[in-house]
Amino acid sequence: MKYVTEFRDSKAARALSEAIRRTVRRPWTVMEVCGGQTHAIVRFGLDALFPPDLTLVHGPGCPVCVTPVGLIDQAIHLASLPGVVFCSFGDMLRVPGSARDLFAAKAAGGDVRVVYSPLDALALAQAHPDRQVICFAVGFETTAPAFAAAVVQARRLGVKNFSLLVAHVLVPPAIGAILNAPGNRVQGFLAAGHVCTVMGCEEYDELVRRHRVPIVVTGFEPLDILEGVLLLVRQLEAGRAEVENQYARSVRRQGNPEAQAILREVFEPAPRAWRGIGEIPQSGLRLRHAYAEFDAVERFRGDVALVGEGGVEDAECRSGLVLQGLLKPPDCPAFGNRCTPERPLGAPMVSSEGACAAYFRYRRRTDSLQEVRHGE
Amino acid sequence: MCLAVPGRVLHIEEGPLLTATVSFGGVTKDVSLVLVPEATVGDYVIVHVGFAISKLDEQAAQRSLEAFAALSELGEPEESAP
Amino acid sequence: MASEGTPAVSCPLPLASGDHVLLAHGGGGRLMQKLIGDVFLPAFANPLLAKLHDGAVFPVEAGRLAFTTDSYVVQPLFFPGGDIGSLAVYGTVNDLAMCGAKPLYLSVGFILEEGFSLELLQRIVDSMAEAAHKTQVQLVTGDTKVVDRGKGDGLFINTAGIGVVPPGVIVGPHRVQAGDRILLSGDLGAHGLAVLSMREGLRFGGGIESDAAPLHSVVAELLHSGVDVHCLRDLTRGGLASALNEIASTAKVGMTIEEQPILIQEPVRGACEILGLDPLYVANEGRFVAFVPSAQAETALAVLRRHAVSHNASAIGTVMGSNEPLVVLRTLLGTNRIVDLLSGDQLPRIC
Ligand code: SF4
């Protein structure tokens, strides 16, 4: 595939890896904010290309992982209502709520469907005018404009049986929260290239100014991530703190104005709880008053009220610390025994790029592999 | 987060959603160009959940690849993989 | 491969179109007799079935039999490159082939949902008959049940199969040993994505066709070629990754495989990228791996490449000494990644 394959070239990867090794002189801890980057790191085994002095922490950048339990409980409740078709991206179905996940709701008779796009959910609403189609609007700034466009289109077409359960979250407030956390170890960030494709780089200037951390806006292919890390350690070693754009083929400084406009037209910032972390001010989105008719929480007010907002997070789960880079998954007492990908206690064990699952699946075994090799 | 993949615009339909047929290595999907109205047939766009979120800057991509190539050239003689 | 062409209605219909399966079609009375007489018997015609006895009685050669069963619930019933009918025949034929057996007889059980179109049933039955003909197996006994509307998903098929294992042939995970080469018969992922491409909400175009195909003849030739085949496994649910992990843990061996020789068609790769799927875990219906002694790998590959279903065969890896039953993939970047079992089905992801 053009513009994919070229960015997976092994020769260039080795050259970048060497350049990183040559650059790093002191130990550094950096975070890739985005779950998509975590996924690529795991899938391509990129961590083997970094020098031992460089620690990469998997950040909270998986919108699936950070969706609070209370919202998942609401989703499960709505999905179980008769006459409702509940649409979601695939990776959301396995995330545990207080007691069950959406798969369990489906097994119990709920009509739960996996969609690829918000427009697929809208099409379902048009195809089933007698049903209420609710779509779980999960995702960061990258995904919110797509849901906004679907809502605008629904209004244009007069589709009355379409609504969103909004769980959108915003990245910069989360980075701010990590930097403000006592004991923060993260010294630099790879920012998510697709979030910045939509929002641009300016929000990150503010973070750099305030916290003096380097931030490199980075793409998702192996060479992107390696180059992003290289730019980041160059800044760190030189004592610089700037916003740099590695992913110039997609990210413009000002972002995508059309996407920002429709996002602002439909959504407004709101306080939002992050799973395991707690509430972060102005870190989420909600539908503006003018679009309240598309808000599933409004439309099903009575039903949602039954569920409440609390939601019980598993007391043992340390996902908050893990997502902030303050705890390595294996150091969680539940890791690998009471909490496994088959029976996850917390969201980071669910999605394949969740920090705990990635550790469970690869690192745990890789460590034992390496021990074997070293012993040879 | 935000799985998004570059694909090539094959065809654009007029209409409020600016629906385009986009090819990803031969597989085609309907993609809305409302967020990237400037994209035209032949352009590469980066697609996330059924929407193009940017037009891929082919020159910038080329510059990146050239930089990587230069780095590999100047890199050390073939050595065993890490 | 059973190519249905476009699923348009152009063939002469033996049953009035618009006819539907009724509960009585499974009731054992006249309607059921009619269904058997009009649909099943003509399609599957063979002397054993024609006896319409409670079961099929046939002679066996001395030696060993292989016996297997599988149920087919695929949705949609018709997908690019195949349908549930041909799949139900090839799947069971392939399971027998993977035991080293020559497939002989199949049974078929239909579970029909009340209201299912008889015309579609006819098409599926015809496709089964064609697949049976191609693979030279006979459908010798069968059963039909009808469930209430809403209690089934249109139609489910179970097939069981019996085959004979030629003398001297012993294939199974227990024979896999350190040093074995792992041969892969062709490109991965086409079946899984052909089926996904038809799903409401995920639909995409571009003509990915299922790889569904019978594997018995290439396997028979491989076994006759003098190659001491240690193990065979078709790469259905869970794909290559799951198959290798299962064998690794049964045989208590490790494996290393290379990403580079694993073929994936460009459109399959594209579809996997947009949906966030890993092709190593996607289902195939006409692909398998063979474990052979490394000295015979080239001979085996030459045999595989002579057959259309496996002309893209390649050696993808090696069985390692038994440390931990780990499957390690050497990526295109030269790094190692552990290829583990998934907890469940792969789900399309956004992140
Ligand atoms: S291992 Fe499980 S319980 Fe521990 S932090 Fe991770 S998800 Fe939570």
pLDDT tens per residue across span C35-83 = 888 889 888 888 888 787 888 888 887 789 999 999 999 989 999 999 9
SS3 A232: helix
Q: Please determine, for residue C345, whether its predicted confidence score (pLDDT) is greater than 80.
A: no
CATH of the domain at C257: 3.90.650.10
How many domains would you assign to chain B?
A: 1
pLDDT tens per residue across span C259-300 = 999 999 999 999 999 888 999 999 999 999 999 999 999 999
Query: Residue A374 has what pLDDT?
Result: 36
What is the second-level CATH architecture of the domain A66-170+256-307? 3-Layer(aba) Sandwich (3.40)
Residues of B in contact with C334 (CB under 8 A): 81-82
Residue C18 belongs to some domain of the structure:
no
For residues A153 and C24, which has the higher predicted lDDT (pLDDT)? A153
For residues A29 and C15, which has the higher predicted lDDT (pLDDT)? A29
Choose from A194-198, A315-319, C3-7 the range with maximum mean pLDDT. Answer: A194-198
- CA C259 to ligand 1 center in whole angstroms: 31
Of C165, C194, C223, the residue at which a domain comes to its end is: C165
How many domains would you assign to chain C?
A: 2
**For residue A353, what pLDDT band results from cuts at 50, 70 and 90?**
low
Residue C111 and residue C180 in one domain = no
**For residue C229, what pLDDT band results from cuts at 50, 70 and 90?**
very high
Q: Please determine, for residue A97, whether its predicted confidence score (pLDDT) is greater than 90.
A: no
Residue C218 and residue C296 in one domain = yes
Residue B30 belongs to some domain of the structure:
yes
Residue C193 and residue C322 in one domain = yes
Q: Is A74 near chain B, with CB under 8 Å? A: no
CA atoms within 13 A on the CB side of C139: 30
pLDDT tens per residue across span A216-265 = 999 999 999 999 999 999 999 999 999 999 999 999 999 999 999 999 99
Residue C220 and residue C145 in one domain = no
**For residue A342, what pLDDT band results from cuts at 50, 70 and 90?**
confident
Residues of A in contact with B8 (CB under 8 A): 2
Query: Residue B81 has what pLDDT?
Result: 42
Taking the C-alpha atoms of residue A54 and residue A188, their distance in angstroms, rounded to an integer, is 11
- Residue C56 in contact with residue C105, Cβ under 8 Å? yes
Q: Is C206 near chain B, with CB under 8 Å? A: yes
Find the residues whose C-beta lies inside 6 A of ligand 1: A 316-319, 322, 329, 332, 334-335, 339, 344-346, 348-349, 356
Show the domain range for C304.
Answer: 173-338
Residue C132 and residue C181 in one domain = no
Residue C187 and residue C327 in one domain = yes
Residue C235 and residue C98 in one domain = no
- Residue C275 in contact with residue C202, Cβ under 8 Å? yes
Residue C100 and residue C189 in one domain = no
Residue B82 belongs to some domain of the structure:
no
Q: Is C200 near chain B, with CB under 8 Å? A: no
> How close, in Å, is residue C26 to chain B by CA atoms?
42
CATH of the domain at C133: 3.30.1330.10
- CA A356 to ligand 1 center in whole angstroms: 6
Rounded to 10 deg, the angle between the A144-157 and A118-127 helix axes is 20
Q: How many C-beta atoms lie closer than 10 Å to residue C136's C-beta?
A: 13
Residue B80 belongs to some domain of the structure:
no
Q: Which residue type occupies A193?
A: G
Q: List phi, psi (to 5°) of B47.
A: -115, 130
Q: List phi, psi (to 5°) of A37.
A: -70, -40
Show the domain range for B53.
Answer: 5-75
Of C140, C165, C190, the residue at which a domain comes to its end is: C165
Residue C283 belongs to some domain of the structure:
yes
Residues of C in contact with A64 (CB under 8 A): 349-351
**Ligand 1, atom 1, residue with closest C-alpha:** A335
**Residue A316 alpha carbon, nearest atom of ligand 1:** 3
Residue C160 and residue C186 in one domain = no
Residue C182 and residue C318 in one domain = yes
Taking the C-alpha atoms of residue A42 and residue B44, their distance in angstroms, rounded to an integer, is 27
Write down the pTM of the prediction: 0.88
CATH of the domain at B70: 2.30.30.140
Residue C152 and residue C183 in one domain = no
Residue C149 and residue C200 in one domain = no
Residue C82 belongs to some domain of the structure:
yes
- DSSP codes joined into one string, C140-201: EEEEEEEE-TTSSSSEEEEEEEEEEEPTT---SGGG--TT-EEEE-S--SHHHHHHHTTSTT
- CA A322 to ligand 1 center in whole angstroms: 8
Residue B81 belongs to some domain of the structure:
no
Cross-chain CB nearest to A49 (options C270, C275, C335):
C335
**Residue A336 alpha carbon, nearest atom of ligand 1:** 1
Of C148, C165, C182, the residue at which a domain comes to its end is: C165
The set of residues, in sequence order, having a beta carbon less than 8 Å from that of A194 and lying 6+ positions away, is: A34, A36, A142, A220, A250, B1, B2, B4, B46, B48, B53
Q: Please determine, for residue A1, whether its predicted confidence score (pLDDT) is greater than 70.
A: yes
pLDDT tens per residue across span A164-184 = 999 999 999 989 988 998 888
